[in-house]
Amino acid sequence: MQTFLHGRDLIGDLDFSKEEVETVMDVAFDLKRKRALNESTALLRDKVLAMLFFFSSTRTRGSFEAGMAHLGGHAAFIESRTTQISHGDTPKEIGEIFGRYFDGIAIRHVDWGVGNKYQNAVAAASRVPILNMQCDVYHPFQCLADLMTIIEKKGRDLRRKKMVVSWAYAASYQKPMSVPQSLVLQMPRFGMDVVLAHPPEFKLMPEVMDMAREQARKFGVGFDVTDNMEEAFKDADIVYAKSWGAMVHTPDPDEGAKIIKKYEHWITDERKMALAKPDAIYMHPLPADRNIEVTDGVMDGLQSVVYDEAENRMHAQNAVMALTMG
């Protein structure tokens, strides 16, 4: 167990070592147990977290606000458009000034080519931890919640478990690619053989793919890429299928929308889930486009763990906040 994480930022998934992530898991499970027993978890009494949103949220805002209250502190919800950021406040000002008001700064900024740079610029100027509530490159807290959920459902020994990270069709908008990128970086460290499935135009960032391959080599696991959704699902232990945009192929949203339309058949349905192992679990970070991205039968079926996964966002986040802001 790594016991000193005070003051640390969590912006990219590899910012914490495997051992440090294991510490987060231990603390998250302890906090979840205490909540079940109605025991106090006021580890951050009188601490205040700034939650700066450039992008809308349901689970992220709710879980961070509730989590800070459970930890005995307070979360301040700040929408960027209600601030002076559009009128001159730079990342340096936000880091310097919010770093003096607050005990931690959590930021959600998913604009392509902007979000991750913004968070790192704030971090360079801040004296308190910067926590990435999602950017254009990474979604570390979602990934920690996913890992916690997989451990709950499949046990701590995840060696040789097959995890499919698949693109899925969604018509709503070009969604960030941060979730699949975090998954392919983090999950190989815990022994899973990862299969990444997507149509040719939906590649992940080359630098992230290089890091993912390096993690797979380091931990002696498989990392394969395919453009065949059905082939990927075969004998899977974990199915994680969601949509993301074609930003690497083209940053143009109209062109991206045309490309997405070509792949309506990339839906997670009962037929595809039947290709996975009988005890496979279905995961999604939500919101999902029902009966477009995934059928109701899968989303509400016995293999779905999406609501446990959503709950675990709060416990995993609480663990990181307790460790970094305490």
What pLDDT, on a 0 to 100 scale, did the predictor assign at position 257?
87
Find the range with the poorest average confidence among 61-75, 130-144, 171-185, 229-243.
171-185
% residues pLDDT > 70 (the chain): 100
pLDDT band at 305 (very low <50, low <70, confident <90, very high): very high
In this predicted structure, what is the pLDDT of residue 179? 98
Could you report the per-residue pLDDT of 198-210, keeping only the tens digit for each? 999 999 999 999 9
Q: Does the structure show a pLDDT above 90 at 271?
A: yes
Q: What is the pLDDT of residue 147?
A: 98
pLDDT at residue 115 in the model: 98
| Alpha-carbon span 180 to 196, nearest angstrom | 8
What mean pLDDT value characterizes the chain?
A: 97
pLDDT value of residue 262: 94
Mean pLDDT of 156-178: 93
pLDDT band at residue 192 under the 50/70/90 scheme = very high
Q: How confident is the model at residue 3 (pLDDT cuts 50, 70, 90)?
A: confident
Which whole number is the average pLDDT over 280-288?
97
Q: What is the pLDDT of residue 1?
A: 85
pTM: 0.97
Domain boundaries, the chain: 13-139+313-325, 141-309
Angle 131-145-320 from CA coordinates, rounded to 5°: 35
Are domains 13-139+313-325 and 141-309 of this chain identical in fold? yes
**pLDDT one-digit tens code per residue, 207-224:** 999 999 999 999 999 999
41-62 residue pLDDT tens = 999 999 999 999 999 899 999 9
Q: What tens digit of pLDDT does each residue of 131-149 get?
A: 999 999 999 999 999 999 9
Task: Tell me the percentage of the chain whose pLDDT exceeds 90.
Answer: 93
**pLDDT confidence bin for 102, thresholds 50/70/90:** very high
Distance in angstroms (rounded) separating the CA atoms of residues 118 and 108: 10
Place of tokens 């992230």: 208
DSSP state at residue 197: E
pLDDT band at 171 (very low <50, low <70, confident <90, very high): confident
Give the pLDDT band of residue 68 (cuts 50, 70, 90): very high
User: What value does the mean pLDDT take over residues 236-256?
Assistant: 93
Under the banding of pLDDT at 50, 70 and 90, the label for residue 174 is: confident
- Whether the per-residue pLDDT at 173 is higher than 80: the answer is no
Rounded distance between C-alpha atoms, residue 296 and residue 275, angstroms? 18
Rg over alpha carbons for the chain, rounded to the nearest Å, is: 19
Bond from prior residue into 285 cis (ω within 30 degrees of 0): no
**What's the CATH fold of domain 141-309?**
Rossmann fold (3.40.50)
Place domain 13-139+313-325 in its CATH homologous superfamily.
Answer: Aspartate/ornithine carbamoyltransferase (3.40.50.1370)
Least Cα distance to 248 among 137, 135, 169, 172 occurs for: 137
